Structure 1
Amino acid sequence: MTEAPPIQRHYFVDEAGDPVLFDARGNAMPGQEGCSKHFMLGVLDVPDPVSLAAALEALRAQLLADPYFHGVPSMQPERRKTAWAFHAKDDLPEVRREVFRVLMTHEVRFFAVVRDKARVLDYVRQRNRNDVAYRYQPNELYDSMVSRLFKDRLHLTPEVNVCFAERGKSDRSAALASALETARQRFNAKWQRSTQSVIRARESSPARDVPLQAADYFLWALQRHYERQESRYLDLVWPKVGLIQAVDETDVAPYGAYYTKKKPLTKVSG
């Protein structure tokens, strides 16, 4: 008996780096110390969010009960770090290794879009020369990457649930839903189709929606590759990678570089 196709998809979206290009005085930040060179948006396709969340919560309870971590600051509840939610940047190396071990046992698939902020800055300056009224907004880059990230992901099931990691205090659910609709329209235009999937977009925190913690770990591995030329974490999770779109790596093709399981991301351009 063949297994019935899934009715819905569950996607969990997070970012690495930030889309900020200018400081409060209007000075360009890319290339300056402390400013990330890249901005990345990643989505984790999680067929069974309940199972993944349960596994990560069980791991956290196990680690918090381990005497080895007694007194570690990040493991104290009042610090609101590992004791609350796994976050690769804050977690100890020993904790990271255990989280990666759990992630590799689950049927998840990771997709990401990578932008070179220096190239984005060039585009913004060129647009300013052509339109003096134009003012760059960080959400503009974020939303455009949402549309790019989901262009081929919204027609696969009748229902699509997209959970975005919260960004600041403002509720951007409507803007994110609009970016997803743009992605659907681009897919329809490209393939001359009319997809009817029901799309639900919402924002949440990693503590409330645990699979966001898993998305953070995949993004952290990708960020280490690009920002520090340290690839061992990305190599570890590569079997779970579906597609990495490096939009600004245009040496070979004007649309950028696409990295897949058959074409691994092995070096950093530039």
Structure 2
Amino acid sequence: MKDRYLFADEAGCFTFTRQPNVSKYFIICTVTTKTLDVSTALNSLRHRLVWEGLSIGDFFHATVDAQAVRDRVFEEMLKHEFQVQAMICEKAKAQPQVRSSKARFYKYPWYYLFKHGIAPHIVEDMRLLIIAASIGTKKERTTFTTALSDVMDQTVGGIPWAVDFRPSHCDPGLQVADYCAWAIQRKWERGDTRSFDLIKDRISYEFDLWKHGTTLHY
């Protein structure tokens, strides 16, 4: 049985209005890997940065890390094997019933990402451990877990799999996903491809879910 790992993070928010500091897109980003080498490498990098006297937070977080730290994290990440998949959702194109609850909206990008971006690469002698960054309240996380489990049953239910929601600071693999999600979000929200260009060769799937939609609902 071959172990595979999938680390997942999201970029954007669940606010469906047009106002300052509200994201235009909601993005699910996954990082798939055959080993935990990149996670181990980020732990080692943190130790080196401490010795070098760089200012770092409690964990690597692309939004708040200094550019000098970001540069080193991307450099270290790219020494190791991983692939990136992303589902892009322009929130204003989501029909009202799709965004009737956070859990229902959350399920849409996950379902299509797994169906088209991940499931085609699943083989029978594989088991998949999904580590997703925890979001929302404890009650909301329960509904997110249920939604994700339903997606797994529909798309890759033929292999052993397990889901673990945990805070990003608990797992360096989630910090890799955070960096990739941030790079993709910068491209879509701001047209800034500086960081995206660093990882674009690792992106095996990137899709705009409602790209053919023309109606904006707010």
The TM tier, using the shorter chain, reads 0.7 to 0.9
Separation in 2 of the partners of 1:90 and 1:64?
17
Q: Which amino acid aligns with 1:41?
A: I
- Distance, in Å, in 1 between the alignment partners of 2:169 and 2:33 is 17
Q: Does 1:48 find its partner at 2:10?
A: no
In the alignment, structure 1 segments of 5+ residues that lack a partner are 1-5, 22-28, 76-81, 128-133, 185-194, 255-270
Partner Cα distance (2:91, 2:137) in 1 = 24
Q: 2:90 aligns with which of 116, 138, 149?
A: 116
Please give the alpha-carbon distance, in whole angstroms, between the structure 2 residues aligned to 1:37 and 1:202.
Answer: 28
* Counterpart-to-counterpart distance in 2, 1:151 and 1:140: 17
Instruction: Answer whether contact 1:10 1:46 (CA < 8 A) is retained.
Output: yes
Number of equivalent positions: 206
Structure ranking higher on relative contact order (CA contacts 8 Å, 6+ apart): 2
Identity %: 25
Structure with higher helix content: 2
State yes or no: 1:160 paired with 2:167: no
Structure 2 CA distance for partners of 1:135 and 1:10, relative to 1, 3 Å: closer
- Whole-angstrom distance in 2 between the partners of 1:139 and 1:179: 12
Question: Partners of 2:113 and 2:99 in 1: how far apart?
Answer: 24
Q: CA RMSD in A?
A: 2.0
1:33 to 20, 33, 40: 20
Does the CA-based 8 Å contact 2:62-2:178 persist in structure 1? yes
Using structure 1 for the length normalisation, give the TM-score.
0.71
Specify every segment of 5 or more residues in structure 2 that has no aligned partner in the other structure, as ranges.
none
1:193-204 correspondence runs (5 A): 196-204=158-166
Q: Tell me which of 188, 201, 204 is aligned to 1:242.
A: 204
User: C-alpha deviations, 1:39-67, integer Å up to 9, x for none?
Assistant: 00011002112x21211011111112213
Partner of 2:49: 63
Normalized against structure 2, the TM-score is what? 0.87
Cα offset, 1:110, TM superposition: 0.1
Residue number among 208, 211, 215 corresponding to 2:177 in the alignment: 215
Distance in 1, Cα, partners of 2:149 & 2:202: 26
Bigger Rg, which one: 1
